[in-house]
Chain A
Amino acid sequence: MSRASVKVNDLSWMTGGPQGSGVDSSANIFAGACVLGGLWTFGLREYYSSIKGPHSYFEVRVNGDKIRSHVNNVDVLATFDAETLIRHAEEVALGGGILYDPTFANVEIDKIDSIETPVVLRIKSRLTKQGLPGTVSGILEEAKRRGVNLFSIPYNDIIAKTAAQIGEHQLSKLSRIVNVLSVSASFGILGFDENYLNRSIERAFASKKKVVDMNEIGAKLAYDAAKSQLKQPFPFQLHPIQNQPRLLLMGVEAVALGKLVGGCRVQTYYPITPAADESEFLESHGNFDISGGNNPSQKGSILVTQTEDEIAAITMATGAALTGARAATSTSGPGFSLMVEGLGWAGMNEVPLVITHYQRGGPATGQPTRHEQGDLKFVLSAAHGEFPRIVLCSGDMEESFYDAIRIFNYAERFQMPGIHLIDKGLANNSMTISPPKGDLVPIQRGKLIQGDHQGNGDEEPYRRFAFTEDGVSPRAVLGMPSYRFWNTGDEHDEMGHIEEDPDNRVKMMTKRMTKLDTAAREISEEEKVNFFRSSKKQADVTIVSWGSTKGPILDAMKLLERDGIGVEFLQIRLVSPFPTETVKQKLAGAKLLVDIEQNYSGQMAAVIAEKTMIDVKNKIVKFNGRPMSQDEIYQSVKQVLSNPAQNKRVVLTLGA
């Protein structure tokens, strides 16, 4: 540990433990303290599809500048159970630190049932090769030999002392503070003022004075216990900096906030991971403050309804949309599969219904809590027949927020279902961002008939599906006098009555499909794609991708640029209607094209080929359920660059 190599405000910290033991809350308290100290964070949350018991972990990366992804290495591993130590110790880099509970030293690795046999065998053979015992102390010794610093945190003693200080005799009542103790001990070695942690604890347990007290007392003891073991400054340090107020949030919260700002007033859902958190956030913010508007109460509200299944969810939301309310449903793969007939009905009847689709590992239940971008082609073609739809993919928290507003605008302006495509990585990861602007994206309702609805004034009966130049007809809603209309899933005439006449069919199909051209024309270029380029003039490589890979790609671009590699990155956001000309133009002169996607086959590359006839020959894909890290992209892009012909398809595999 030489002073020279101290890294300030560039840290990757990990905690873990049995699901339900407070892993999430400790990671949030850790990140909260960092943000209160003006730092930026990115949090990676990984958990099993079960409620109590199995191992989950949360990696928080902290930096003095904005960061958008996780990294491969862990610098500080804060454990309070044996399993986290056993599973993750090898990820801790040279010079990093491990905090552990000394009472676990003799725990044998193969005695922990929840670790899968292949993992146990792999770790044991690694230890045996080094002549080490198959126990926690073997793991610790291995880490020490590698140059990792070990910090023994006597959690039980600290809890006992805390209990004595607050006069609580039942130690079990305090056992839950152990995760906060590990956070505090981490700050002890990182040299980060404990007051930030105390403020973060106070926020987390706002109304529970007693809980705050015991956490703060324990935290102080843990902080000192860790700090006292330092013989010289720890090679990783966190220093507070002056910063603007920031939001610390998850993707589901960004979407939910966007929906509320964007005017969503009905949300239906059937519980599914990782979508349900969004609906729960909405339900717990069912009444909110507004200014302006016609509500005498100066309160807005959203009706969140849990339905009996996803078919009910999509049909109810569609029924709500027919009344003029902005309505949405949120789901994930299995639920969307059930919704497709309803999607087609909304397409046929030109209903501005919004579906927020959170991709996770498929097919079937697949990997319910794991990350994948495997549904792109599915949402593009779901439901029988041909009808127009908007598909908009967000790449990060800010986009998730703004796109949640835009998707309603598009759905209403072009009168078609709008699918907002998100993924598990984005949904569950947390990030520090600048507060988005509530008025950046105005609300646009297209040809919705407004006003007091006292009649349309002329003798002609209202035609809901009147033929128009741009394919979009003036839209009345249920309950408007003299704007009577009919809807049917059958082909229909302008009134909305069933009509099987072949000429009418041609006209109606054309009308509906024309709206896609209208949308392509009217949606601004900035909303269709993002194009990033590093400062070097000529790009050595042009990356094309979509969705939450945006974060690690942007972070990896900085590393590539540092190595003198010029990079361009085309992030495709609007996939239907597809920005064919823009994509062609951006990819045309590329020296080397690389498609990066979190799926097996490279679905976006296939869509690009279909739409532009451009063949993206090199792909970097990942489909093990764990998001890509900045380092994986950095390394794999270099690998492709080193020999494109030999590296047509690089499969990334990291992640626990």
Chain B
Amino acid sequence: MALKLTDLKTDVHNDWCPGCGDFGIEASLKMALTEMPVDINKVALFSGIGCSSKLVHFTNAFGIHTLHGRVLGYAQGAKLANPDLEVIAVGGDGDGLGIGVGHFVHAGRRNIDMAYIIHDNGVYGLTKGQASPTLHLGMQTKSLPEPNINSNINPIMLALASGFTFIARSYAYNTRHLKEMIKKAVAHKGFALIDALQPCPTYNDINTKEWYGGEDRVDPATKRPMPRTYDLEGTGYNGTITADMSQDEVDKNLVQVIEKSREWGDKIPIGIFYQNETVPIYEERISERIPSYMREPPARQQLAKNDGKSVVNLANLSKELLFESLVLAQ
């Protein structure tokens, strides 16, 4: 039976502020889940701590709401123990790029087959609006006593440097686009990041829905706002790495990703910046050492026989430590 949007609803009261971009991300994720060929019983959502991370309670799928900054640890651990799961991690920009940035970088190195959505709102929503790592230098959002004293992290560039094999950006209120990005991220073989631009109407009065929508810049000809975000698709941009590319072509492509990732302000690209399925996923690397891994992963191994006795053959396992006494002829 096909999964319907209503199947994904829970009874939990949603306490996000009215107009929060998180609603758009939640809706996009749910639409994506209904349109994807996934078994909802195998979907496991993981989140960190922040407004955004409450998403898992609003969604009727396994939902693991973890610690601030640690979502990727829990999510990767579950995926490695049971590679059958469709693991999707979500969390705030403070969560993933502040306190958890070490895990972000190392997740790229592993390239486990899962997806990760960052709710990029430029602030620490749940702690009342401090600057998050994606807020630009000198910006002063509503609740900052002084302008931001730090430069920002560019999530796209950091993901590229860390070895992510799918890097996309989308916008919370462009749910059709975000939904497509989520479907592609989940379908991607490897670790996939979506930097989801997310207005926080309560604390970020700079990067608002109106600002993203370009309502301050009306096209004199059409009298319509000129949105700041634009879709990379259709611009001729192609960030896909394929196996037949020369090293030179690959390098050129990477430079192009960096160039695109630096566009901000009046022109903000959304779409797939980079995709590379030529890098072996972690699961394949494990399988080279443990040939039975995919068929008999940790979560599916039977540990004991019916009487509770361990299946492990201890004698074989400890052979190298066993000494048979040999009393020799003197």
Residues of A that sit less than 8 Å from B by CB: 32, 35-38, 193, 195-196, 199, 240-249, 253, 257, 260-263, 265-266, 268, 285-297, 299-303, 305, 307-309, 311-312, 314-327, 341-342, 345, 405, 432, 435-439, 442-445, 477-482, 484-490, 496-498
Indicate if the CB atoms of A247 and B321 lie closer than 8 Å.
yes
| Cross-chain contact of A244 among B60, B106, B292, B325 (Cβ < 8 A) | B325
Indicate if the CB atoms of A288 and B312 lie closer than 8 Å.
yes
B157: interface (CB < 8 Å): no
| Cross-chain contact of B301 among A247, A253, A293, A345 (Cβ < 8 A) | A293
- Assuming the A-B contacts A293-B303, A323-B81, A488-B57, are A285 and B67 also in contact, with contact meaning beta carbons closer than 8 angstroms in the complex? no
- Shortest distance from the beta carbon of B3 to any chain A beta carbon, whole Å: 13
Residues of chain A within 8 A of B64, CB atoms compared? 319, 322, 478, 486-487
Indicate if the CB atoms of A442 and B309 lie closer than 8 Å.
yes
Indicate if the CB atoms of A312 and B313 lie closer than 8 Å.
no
Indicate if the CB atoms of B295 and A296 lie closer than 8 Å.
yes
Indicate if the CB atoms of B310 and A285 lie closer than 8 Å.
no
Residues of chain A within 8 A of B102, CB atoms compared? 308-309, 312
Bound CA–CA A32/B320 (angstroms): 11
CB nearest to A268 among chain B residues: B77
| Cross-chain contact of B84 among A290, A309, A479 (Cβ < 8 A) | A479
Bound CA–CA A262/B41 (angstroms): 29
Indicate if the CB atoms of B318 and A316 lie closer than 8 Å.
no
Indicate if the CB atoms of B327 and A262 lie closer than 8 Å.
no
Residues of chain B within 8 A of A241, CB atoms compared? 325, 327
- Assuming the A-B contacts A245-B322, A311-B73, A484-B62, are A322 and B78 also in contact, with contact meaning beta carbons closer than 8 angstroms in the complex? yes
Indicate if the CB atoms of B316 and A288 lie closer than 8 Å.
yes
Where chain B touches its partner, the secondary structure class is: mixed
A-B interface, 3 closest residue pairs, ranked by CB to CB distance from nearest? A319-B77, A315-B73, A442-B308
Bound CA–CA A317/B74 (angstroms): 7
| Cross-chain contact of B85 among A32, A323, A327, A488 (Cβ < 8 A) | A323
- Assuming the A-B contacts A268-B77, A327-B77, A498-B57, are A300 and B65 also in contact, with contact meaning beta carbons closer than 8 angstroms in the complex? no
- Shortest distance from the beta carbon of B38 to any chain A beta carbon, whole Å: 12
Q: How many residues of B contact A (CB 8 A)?
A: 74
Indicate if the CB atoms of A320 and B81 lie closer than 8 Å.
yes
Indicate if the CB atoms of B70 and A311 lie closer than 8 Å.
yes
Stretch at the interface among B26-34, B232-240, B283-291: B283-291
Residues of chain B within 8 A of A247, CB atoms compared? 318, 321-323
Bound CA–CA A252/B76 (angstroms): 26
Bound CA–CA A303/B293 (angstroms): 9
B182: interface (CB < 8 Å): no
Indicate if the CB atoms of B289 and A489 lie closer than 8 Å.
no
Q: 8 Å CB contacts to A: which residues of B166-185?
A: none
B1: interface (CB < 8 Å): no
| Cross-chain contact of B286 among A303, A478, A487, A498 (Cβ < 8 A) | A303
Indicate if the CB atoms of A266 and B325 lie closer than 8 Å.
no
Residues of chain B within 8 A of A260, CB atoms compared? 312, 317
- Shortest distance from the beta carbon of B294 to any chain A beta carbon, whole Å: 11
Indicate if the CB atoms of B314 and A291 lie closer than 8 Å.
no
Annotate B292-308 by CB proximity to A: 1 below 8 A, 0 otherwise: 11011111111111011
Indicate if the CB atoms of A299 and B312 lie closer than 8 Å.
no
- Assuming the A-B contacts A242-B327, A489-B67, are A288 and B76 also in contact, with contact meaning beta carbons closer than 8 angstroms in the complex? no
B245: interface (CB < 8 Å): no
Annotate B47-65 by CB proximity to A: 1 below 8 A, 0 otherwise: 0010000101100111111
| Cross-chain contact of A303 among B54, B295, B298, B302 (Cβ < 8 A) | B298
Bound CA–CA A485/B56 (angstroms): 11
What are 24 A-to-B residue pairs whose CB atoms are below 8 Å?
Answer: A247-B322, A248-B321, A249-B318, A261-B312, A268-B77, A286-B290, A288-B313, A292-B305, A300-B301, A309-B102, A312-B70, A319-B77, A319-B81, A322-B77, A323-B298, A326-B303, A345-B67, A405-B310, A478-B44, A486-B57, A488-B57, A488-B65, A489-B67, A498-B54
Residues of chain B within 8 A of A317, CB atoms compared? 77
| Cross-chain contact of B12 among A314, A321, A436, A497 (Cβ < 8 A) | A497
Inter-chain pairs besides A243-B325, A486-B56, 17 sampled, C-beta below 8 Å: A246-B323, A257-B318, A290-B313, A291-B311, A293-B302, A297-B296, A303-B80, A309-B102, A319-B46, A323-B81, A342-B73, A442-B304, A442-B308, A442-B309, A480-B41, A489-B67, A497-B12
Residues of chain A within 8 A of B57, CB atoms compared? 486, 488, 497-498
- Assuming the A-B contacts A245-B323, A484-B62, are A439 and B309 also in contact, with contact meaning beta carbons closer than 8 angstroms in the complex? yes
Indicate if the CB atoms of A263 and B54 lie closer than 8 Å.
no
Residues of chain B within 8 A of A327, CB atoms compared? 77, 81, 298
Indicate if the CB atoms of B302 and A287 lie closer than 8 Å.
no
Residues of B that sit less than 8 Å from A by CB: 10, 12, 41-42, 44, 46, 49, 54, 56-57, 60-67, 70, 72-82, 84-85, 102-103, 105-106, 286, 289-293, 295-305, 307-318, 321-328, 330
Bound CA–CA A367/B239 (angstroms): 51
Residues of chain B within 8 A of A195, CB atoms compared? 328
Indicate if the CB atoms of B313 and A301 lie closer than 8 Å.
no
- Assuming the A-B contacts A286-B290, A319-B74, A478-B44, are A342 and B65 also in contact, with contact meaning beta carbons closer than 8 angstroms in the complex? no
CB nearest to B54 among chain A residues: A498
Indicate if the CB atoms of A301 and B292 lie closer than 8 Å.
yes
Residues of chain A within 8 A of B292, CB atoms compared? 287, 295, 297, 299, 301
- Assuming the A-B contacts A247-B318, A323-B85, are A490 and B328 also in contact, with contact meaning beta carbons closer than 8 angstroms in the complex? no
- Assuming the A-B contacts A285-B317, A443-B303, A480-B41, are A316 and B85 also in contact, with contact meaning beta carbons closer than 8 angstroms in the complex? no
Indicate if the CB atoms of B295 and A316 lie closer than 8 Å.
no
Residues of chain B within 8 A of A248, CB atoms compared? 321, 323
Bound CA–CA A303/B287 (angstroms): 10
Bound CA–CA A289/B314 (angstroms): 8
CB nearest to A341 among chain B residues: B67
Indicate if the CB atoms of B328 and A240 lie closer than 8 Å.
yes
CB nearest to B10 among chain A residues: A497
Indicate if the CB atoms of A297 and B295 lie closer than 8 Å.
yes
| Cross-chain contact of A266 among B80, B296, B313 (Cβ < 8 A) | B80
| Cross-chain contact of B325 among A36, A286, A321, A345 (Cβ < 8 A) | A36
Bound CA–CA A263/B32 (angstroms): 37
Bound CA–CA A195/B328 (angstroms): 8
Bound CA–CA A481/B298 (angstroms): 19
Indicate if the CB atoms of B66 and A489 lie closer than 8 Å.
yes
Indicate if the CB atoms of B78 and A193 lie closer than 8 Å.
no
- Assuming the A-B contacts A315-B67, A319-B81, are A257 and B323 also in contact, with contact meaning beta carbons closer than 8 angstroms in the complex? no
Indicate if the CB atoms of B302 and A295 lie closer than 8 Å.
yes
| Cross-chain contact of A489 among B49, B60, B72 (Cβ < 8 A) | B49
- Shortest distance from the beta carbon of B269 to any chain A beta carbon, whole Å: 30
Bound CA–CA A196/B324 (angstroms): 11
- Assuming the A-B contacts A37-B327, A299-B292, A303-B293, are A293 and B305 also in contact, with contact meaning beta carbons closer than 8 angstroms in the complex? yes
Residues of chain A within 8 A of B81, CB atoms compared? 265-266, 303, 319-321, 323-325, 327
| Cross-chain contact of A438 among B46, B298, B312 (Cβ < 8 A) | B312
- Shortest distance from the beta carbon of A256 to any chain B beta carbon, whole Å: 9
Residues of chain A within 8 A of B84, CB atoms compared? 479
Query: A35, A36, A308, A321: which has the most chain B beta carbons within 10 Å?
Result: A308
